[in-house]
Structures are given as structure tokens and as C-alpha cells.
Amino acid sequence: MPSLILSLARGAATSPFKRPGRPDAVLPPDRATAPAARPAAGPLAAYRGICGFTEPDALPVTYPHVLAFPLAMRLMTRRRFPLPVTGLVHTWIEITAHRTLHPTDALELTVYADGLTPHRRGTEVTVATEARLSGELVWESHSGYLSRHATRTSTGTGTGTGTSTGTGTAPAAPGPVLPAVAEWRLPADLGRRYGAASGDRNPIHLYPLTARLFGFPRAIAHGMWTVAHCLAQTPRPHLVHTVRADFRAPVLLPGTVTYASDGTRFQLRDGEGDDARVHLTGTATHRS
């Protein structure tokens, strides 16, 4: 697996020279791959602990994303990748788990960029991840990452305001207010703790100062932590088959959020009522 430290250093060095929003930008056809390997026990235990997964014989449905993150970083920090990796914001994810995975599974991982899309706040790249077991596709995902930059309105010749996903579906509407299940108090160091467990040390998640460099008043929680912690609360998380989650507003750290769910749909929001700010919406379906 490629070194995250080297990828982060390369990303910091190359990001200032990249100009997002260029109309002629294209994605390189590269694929980053890693040979079959079992998840390391220590990092997996740390991830389970920070996210709340308690099933020892099942791999959390979100964990292949974590395993493949170094590959994604290697891909997105290459010189030919058109967007600066520093400050990229995860905006949505879709996961399909074709079967329950286990800590003893030796997964073969592949990551590739699947498209560039204009966004009202910049440019969004779709990154696809595939996990195979003895050549069989057992898990896959598409994720959107936003590079924020100045754009023109959709009435001109600029980037417009639309968004799309790698699977051709539009982001889901926020939907109705779901019944509250629990209130979560999130500590200021949550981003640093999750970053240590997952390897995702994007500076927007670490400290107020590093987050302010990218326009956030304080550090923000990792989107993948919010999804994972929500899924860990669902009944039988090892049987989750599909997940769609949209990250609608940053969760500032420290902070307090309400976790809400009706069994299939889930939300993270501030407070109650129609005026509550929704940070995350999602759906999860289970295998029977």
C-alpha cells in the first residue's frame, strides 16, 4: 500500500500549481491498485472503536473505503490529476456490499477517477473503488469530492450549478424530518482521532487554524465518520447491502448533533423542528 505521508506531502507540494475549474481539464485514465491483503488487526480495532461497530466477525461496511484511501490519495496527488487535493471536501458516497465481508478476507483493491462534474461551488470529481476477493467483485463504491473555487452562474459560459454522481443519480432531497434517536456530543479532537484510525488527515478535520485556511471557522468532522457512526447504530449492520449518503453541511467540532432514523433512512441534524440544520442524509438497505 502506498505511503499516506508521501502522498500528503506530494499533495501539499503540487496543490498550489493546480488550477481547478479549467474548461479543458481531463482526468487521467490511471488506476491505482493494491494486491490481496487482510486488514491489519490494530487499525481495524481502532476504527471499530471510534465509529462504534461491535460485530467482531464482520468487516464494517464502510471499511473498504478506509483500506483504499491510500490508493485514492496516490491517485489524486499525481501531477496529471487536475484538482488540488488539499482542501477537497467529501460530498456524497454510494456503497454496494455484494456480500458480508470478514476481517480474514484478503481484498484486492482498485481505485480510479470516474468523472468531473461542475458544481455550484466549484468542481466535483467522482472516485470509484472496487474490492475483489479471489477475483470476484464483493464491494464497490462511488464518492464525490468537491474542489471549491469561484464559478460563474449557469446563465453564462462557466461551470454552472448542476451536480451528478458516478452512477447517474441526482443527490437525494433532504426529505422529511426523521424521529430523533440520540444526541451525540462530538469532542474537538474527533477529527484527529478518526484521522489516526483511518489515515485521512486532511487539514480541514484537524485543528481550527488549519480548517480556517480553507474557509471553515473550526475543524469539521469527517463525512465518513458520520456515515459509519450512523450505520453502526442500525440493526444488523453486517447485513447492510446498499448505502447512499449526502453530506449537506459541515459538522463543526466541537459540537452537538441529533441522530435520527426510521430504520431505513437516517439523518444528522442540529436540534428539532423545521428549522433544524441537516448535516447528513442517507439510506441503507439490508440483505434478507
DSSP state of 213: T
230, HSE (Cβ side, Cα atoms, 13 Å):
31
Q: In whole angstroms, give the CA distance from residue 126 to residue 92.
A: 9
Confidence grade of residue 162 (pLDDT, cut at 50, 70, 90): very low
Count of CB atoms within 10 A of residue 190's CB? 22
Q: What is the DSSP string of 11-79?
A: HHHHGGG--TT-TT------EEEEEEEPPPHHHHHHHHHHHT---TTS--TTHHHHHHHHHHHHHHTST
95-147 tens-digit pLDDT: 999 999 999 999 999 999 998 888 888 889 999 999 999 999 999 999 999 98
Residue 98 dihedral angles phi and psi, to the nearest 5°: -75, -15
Strands (DSSP E) contained in 168-224 are 180-186
Give 186-223 pLDDT, tens digit per residue.
999 999 999 999 988 888 899 999 999 888 999 999 99
Q: Above 50 in pLDDT, residue 8?
A: yes
Q: Could you tell me the pLDDT band of residue 258, with boundaries at 50, 70 and 90?
A: very high
